[in-house]
A and B are shown apart, each in its own frame.
Chain A
Amino acid sequence: MTNTKKIAQAILLHPKDNILVCVAHICAGDEILIDDHVVSVQKNIEVGHKLARHALAVGDKVYRYGAPIGSMTQAAGMGEHVHMHNMQSDYIPSHTRTRQNKDRSET
């Protein structure tokens, strides 16, 4: 059965959240709707990744499911990718194959 309804590429999980989660691949240059604003996304965003719902400052708590999931370590504009390069855990550092996300001052 083909789905003729246009699905949002990024969704808001909880009214308190300040990020959206990408549910369909976003290409650099795609325009998406964030709270009545049409925003042009600057880079490719993969399914499962986050974008800022509005401008975020260093130290801001990031909210997903209405709960804090970490803090911003760099500022981000509306629609910008939010991930290990600009946020970190308030509990335990996470890691990828090539780096461990620790205190930003160490990298």
Chain B
Amino acid sequence: MANTIQFKGYGRQDGRKGIRNVIVVAYLVECAHHVTRRIVNVVDDIDVQLIGFPGCYPNQYAYEMMRAVSTHPNVGGALLISLGCESMNRDKLLTEIRASGRPAELLVIQEAGGTKSTIAAGVAAIARIKAEADKAPRVPMDLSELIVGTICGGSDGTSGISANPAVGRCFDALVEANATCIFEETGELIGCETIMADRAVTPELGAEIEACVAKAENYYRIMGFGSFAPGNADGGLTTMEEKSMGAYSKSGSSPISGLIKPGDIPPSGGLYLLDVVPDGEPRFGFPNISDNAEIIELIACGSHVILFTTGRGSVVGSAISPVIKVCANPETYRRLSEDMDVNAGRILEGEATLDEVGEEILQNVIDVASGKRSVSEELGHQEFILTYKSFEPIGPSCLPVRLVE
């Protein structure tokens, strides 16, 4: 299958290929947010997207995320907007983006003459960057070169019965085609650690997986709240373990090839678990304050497209990588069909099987990779959220599978 399904991608200097050619316009502190948003509004192009980090204090994770998403294969160029006094290392970021072969420019509001001047200069810079980015070579791309991430948001009691296992079927098909699949939210896999460890390709990796779920449980206990929303309870989910079992079914049945952290790119095809819970003592509060923070981390690991399952009805998309919305609950689908790509609720009404919906999701992945806009993409959803975290690098047991150069 991997040989027969092909589409056109954008070739990047590091050998990776993208399915979009986005220009990111990034504010490097909240104080630069308005100016950056105005530049994006004036340019008014679906592929010129606002991203940024609001914090003034320095943070290695935040820098790494900005670097990773600005050099993502779906990104063709970048404009950085600094106020001037914030901690984000703007010169290093600019250098690294340019070193990746992408056109990139930097404007410093305090040097450029303030709001109006920077907006005008920014709009002019985008025109130059776009002209350069449009020269990116179009290259053939197949399924095995795709990285697909998955997340659930707004889960309810149907999520684990319909949409999540259907995504699992799709993941199995993708891994079969040697694509790379990433599932995450270790704070929502509490109770699943033993069954996950059994699927790990090595016992050492299994031990790392169990340790990272124990870390998540401890972290959320200290926070005082699990990764559980009132809407989950309204929708019939009662406990963290119940939510976790449902969430877990998105991973399908492939062996787990590795455990990665935000910013790590999986070295080869297969299924990977993304550990999103910070290391060490809780320093910065809740790990992922809303769904888009996790989506950004999946994107920082190279995800080209995101499969997002929802029961209560999330409407978000994301900057940089398109989100495919799979609705678990047939009643939610009736209310929010214009925001959904796939209706997995049909499974509960006896109108489709898990396998059929799994195939429909896979077809959506191929269509979106081929250039079709997902529903949330078409609606202009380009959420981006980035907060403070702290991670230790992954140990060698976390990636037993490595590319042989």
Docked CA distance A21–B330 (Å): 14
Chain B neighbourhood of A43, CB < 8 A: none
Docked CA distance A70–B242 (Å): 8
User: Are B158 and A64 touching (Cβ within 8 A)?
Assistant: no
A48 at the interface (CB under 8 A from B): yes
User: Are B241 and A47 touching (Cβ within 8 A)?
Assistant: no
Chain A neighbourhood of B246, CB < 8 A: 65
Q: Which of A66-96 contact B (CB under 8 A)?
A: 67-70, 82-84, 87-96
User: Are B238 and A87 touching (Cβ within 8 A)?
Assistant: yes
Docked CA distance A12–B228 (Å): 24
User: Are B350 and A5 touching (Cβ within 8 A)?
Assistant: yes
B251 at the interface (CB under 8 A from A): no
Q: Which of B316-354 contact A (CB under 8 A)?
A: 329-331, 348-351
Residue of B nearest to A21 (CB): B157
Within the complex, the shortest CB–CB distance from A1 to chain B, in Å, comes to 8
User: Are A92 and B190 touching (Cβ within 8 A)?
Assistant: yes
Which stretch of B49-57, B122-130, B219-227 is in the interface?
Answer: B219-227
Within the complex, the shortest CB–CB distance from B295 to chain A, in Å, comes to 23
User: Are A87 and B239 touching (Cβ within 8 A)?
Assistant: yes
User: How many residue-residue contacts, CB under 8 A, span A and B?
Assistant: 119
Indicate which residue in A3, A48, A84, A96 contacts B350 across the interface (CB closer than 8 Å): A3
User: Are B329 and A92 touching (Cβ within 8 A)?
Assistant: no
A24 at the interface (CB under 8 A from B): yes
A13 at the interface (CB under 8 A from B): yes
A37 at the interface (CB under 8 A from B): no
Scan A8-36; emit 1 where CB is below 8 A from any B CB, else 0: 00010100000001111100000000000
A54 at the interface (CB under 8 A from B): no
Docked CA distance A84–B234 (Å): 10
User: Are B225 and A95 touching (Cβ within 8 A)?
Assistant: yes
Residue of B nearest to A82 (CB): B238
The 3 closest A-B pairs by CB, nearest first: A48-B157, A48-B236, A49-B236
Q: Which residues of A contact B (CB under 8 A)?
A: 1, 3, 5, 7, 11, 13, 21-25, 46-50, 64-65, 67-70, 82-84, 87-97, 100
Q: Which residues of B contact A (CB under 8 A)?
A: 156-161, 190-191, 195, 217, 220-221, 225-226, 228, 230, 232-242, 245-246, 249, 311, 329-331, 348-351
> What are 5 A-B contacts with C-beta separation under 8 Å?
A1-B351, A49-B236, A87-B238, A92-B240, A96-B233
16 further contact pairs, Cβ within 8 A, besides A7-B349, A7-B350: A3-B349, A21-B236, A23-B348, A24-B348, A46-B235, A50-B236, A64-B245, A67-B241, A67-B245, A69-B245, A82-B238, A83-B236, A89-B241, A91-B190, A92-B221, A97-B230
